[in-house]
Amino acid sequence: MGGDVPAVILDETSRERNLAAAGAPLSGFRDDGYGGAPDDIEALQFLKLYDIILKYKKRIAMICAAFSIVGFVVTFLMPRIYTATTTIQIDREAAKVLRLHDAIVENSSDPQFYETQYELLRSRALAERVVSSLSLADRRGFGEGESWSLSSAIRKLFSQKRESAPDVERLRERAVELVMNGLTVQPVAKSRIVKVGFSSRDPAIAQEVSSAIGQNFVAMTLDRRYGASAYARQFLEDKLQQVKVKLEDSEKLVVDYAQREGIVNVDDKISTSGANLKTLNDSLAVSTAERIKSERLWAQAQAGNGVGLPQVLEDRNIQSARDRRAQLMAEFQDKLSVMKPDFPEMRQLRGQIAEYDRQISAQVSLIKQAIKARYEAARDQEISFREQIERLKADVLDLRGRSIQYNILQRELDTNRSLYDGLLQQYKEVGITGAIGTSNVSIIDRAELPKGPSSPKLLFNLGLALALGVLASAGAIIVGEIRDDTLKVPEDVEETLGLAVLGVIPVGEKDGESRAMARMVIETPLSAAAEAFRSLSTSLQFTTETGLPRTLLVTSAQAAEGKSTTSVCVASNFAQLGMRVLLIDSDLRNPSLHKIFGLDNDAGLSNVLIGTAQAEEVAIETCLSGATVLLSGPAPPYPAELLAGAGMGLLLARTREKFDIVIVDGPPVVGLADAPLIGHLVDGTILVVSSRETRKRVVRAALKRLYFSRTRLLGAVMNRFDAKKAGHSYGYGFGYAYDAYGLHDYRYGRLTDDARK
Parallel/antiparallel/unpaired status of strands 628-630 and 620-621: antiparallel
Q: Which of the pair, 351 or 679, is modelled with greater confidence?
A: 679
Q: Shortest CA distance to 645 belongs to which of 609, 681, 607?
A: 609
- Where do the structural domains in the chain lie, given as residue ranges? 272-433, 513-722
pLDDT tens, position by position, 250-303: 778 777 777 776 665 545 555 565 666 677 677 778 878 877 877 776 766 666
Say what the pTM is: 0.49
- Chain centroid to CA 461: how far? 30
Q: Which among 94-103, 510-519, 653-662 has the top mean pLDDT?
A: 653-662
Contacting residues for 624 by C-beta, under 8 A, at least 6 apart: 519, 522, 572, 597
pLDDT tens, position by position, 514-530: 556 677 777 777 777 88
CB atoms within 10 A of CB 417: 15
Alpha-carbon gap, residue 545 to 655, rounded angstroms: 21
Cα–Cα distance list, 204 to 83, 235, 445, 491 (Å): 10, 45, 17, 67
CATH architecture for the domain at 513-722:
3-Layer(aba) Sandwich (3.40)
Q: Which long-range contacts (CB under 8 A, 24 or more apart) does 156-164 make?
A: none
pLDDT exceeds cutoff 80 at 684: yes
Q: Which long-range contacts (CB under 8 A, 24 or more apart) does 309-315 make?
A: 309/364, 309/367, 309/368, 309/371, 311/367, 311/370, 311/371, 312/363, 312/364, 312/367, 315/363, 315/367
pLDDT exceeds cutoff 50 at 12: no
pLDDT tens, position by position, 170-213: 888 888 888 898 889 999 988 889 999 998 888 888 888 989 99
Asked whether the CA dihedral 487, 493, 495, 501 is positive or negative, the reply is negative
Give the up-direction half-sphere exposure of residue 578: CA atoms within 13 A in the CB hemisphere: 0
